Chain A
Amino acid sequence: MFEQSISTLAQKLRNKDISSVELTRLFLARIAKLDPQLNSFITVSEQRALEQAAAADALLQSGKGTSLTGIPVAHKDLFCTEGTLTTCGSRMLNNFIPPYESTVTSRIQQAGAVMLGKTNMDEFAMGSSNENSFYGAVKNPWNLDMVPGGSSGGSAAAVAAGLAVAATGTDTGGSIRQPASFCGITGLKPTYGRVSRFGMIAYASSLDQGGPMAKSAEDCAHLMQAMAGFDEKDSTSADKPADDYLANLNTPLTGLKIGLPKEYFGEGLDPQVADVIMAAVKEFEKLGATVKEISLPNLQLSIPSYYVIAPSEASSNLSRFDGVRFGHRCDDPKDLLDMYMRSRAEGFGTEVQKRIMIGTYALSEGYYDAYYLKAQKIRRLIKEDFVKALEEVDVIMGPVAPTTAFGLGSKTSDPVAMYLEDIYTLSVNLAGIPAMSIPAGFADGMPVGLQVMGNYFAEAKLLNVAHQYQQHTDWHLQTPTMAKGA
Chain B
Amino acid sequence: MAAIYDNQNIRWNMSIDKQDVQKIAHLARLALTEADADQYQLSLSSVLSLVEEMQSVNTDGVEPLSNPLEMTQRLREDVVTEENRRDAFLANAPQTEAGLFLVPKVID
* Residues of chain A at the chain B interface (Cβ within 8 Å): 95-97, 99, 191-193, 206, 232, 235-236, 238-239, 300-301, 303-305, 307-308, 315, 319, 322-329, 333-342, 344-345, 348, 350, 353-354, 356-358, 360-361, 364, 370-371, 373-381, 383, 414-416, 419, 430-433, 456
Contact = CB atoms under 8 A, between A and B. Distances in A.
Given A206-B67, A357-B24, A379-B64, A416 B47 contact: yes
Contact of A360 (B27, B53, B76): B27
Contacts of B47: 307, 354, 358, 415-416, 419
B69 to A, nearest CB: 6
A354 B43 contact: yes
A356 B76 CA distance: 32
A83 to B, nearest CB: 10
B83 to A, nearest CB: 11
The 8 A-B residue pairs whose C-beta atoms are closest, nearest first, are A432-B68, A376-B64, A329-B94, A341-B31, A415-B43, A326-B92, A377-B59, A99-B88
Given A301-B57, A357-B40, A416-B47, A336 B67 contact: no
Given A304-B51, A322-B29, A361-B24, A97 B91 contact: yes
Contacts of B62: 377-378, 380-381
B23 to A, nearest CB: 9
A323 B76 CA distance: 31
Contacts of A326: 92-93
A432 to B, nearest CB: 2
Contacts of A419: 47, 50
A416 B44 CA distance: 10
Interface in B41-93: 42-44, 46-48, 50-55, 57, 59, 62-69, 71, 73-74, 76, 85, 88-89, 91-93
Contact of B65 (A236, A239, A358, A376): A376
Given A238-B71, A415-B43, 16 more contacts: A99-B85, A238-B69, A301-B57, A303-B50, A304-B54, A322-B29, A325-B101, A333-B104, A334-B104, A336-B103, A341-B29, A344-B28, A358-B47, A380-B64, A431-B68, A432-B69
B15 to A, nearest CB: 13
A380 B92 contact: no
Contacts of A307: 47, 50-51
Contacts of B53: 300-301, 303-304
**B interface, over-half SS:** loop
A315 B28 contact: yes
A18 to B, nearest CB: 37
Residue in B55, B64, B101, B105 with the greatest tally of chain A CB atoms within 10 Å: B64
B95 interface: yes
Contacts of B73: 235
Contact of A374 (B59, B63, B89): B59
Nearest to A369: B64
A305 B27 CA distance: 23
B105 A206 contact: no
A329 B95 contact: yes
B32 interface: yes
A308 B66 CA distance: 13
Given A354-B44, A373-B64, A378 B59 contact: yes
Nearest to B21: A357
Contacts of B74: 235, 239
Contacts of B71: 193, 236, 238
Contacts of B66: 206, 376
Contacts of A415: 42-43, 46-47
A322 to B, nearest CB: 7
21 contacts: A192-B68, A206-B67, A206-B68, A307-B51, A323-B94, A335-B105, A339-B104, A341-B30, A344-B28, A353-B40, A357-B24, A361-B16, A364-B27, A371-B54, A374-B57, A375-B51, A378-B54, A378-B57, A378-B59, A380-B64, A415-B42
B25 interface: yes
Contacts of B76: 232
Interface in B9-31: 16, 21, 24-31
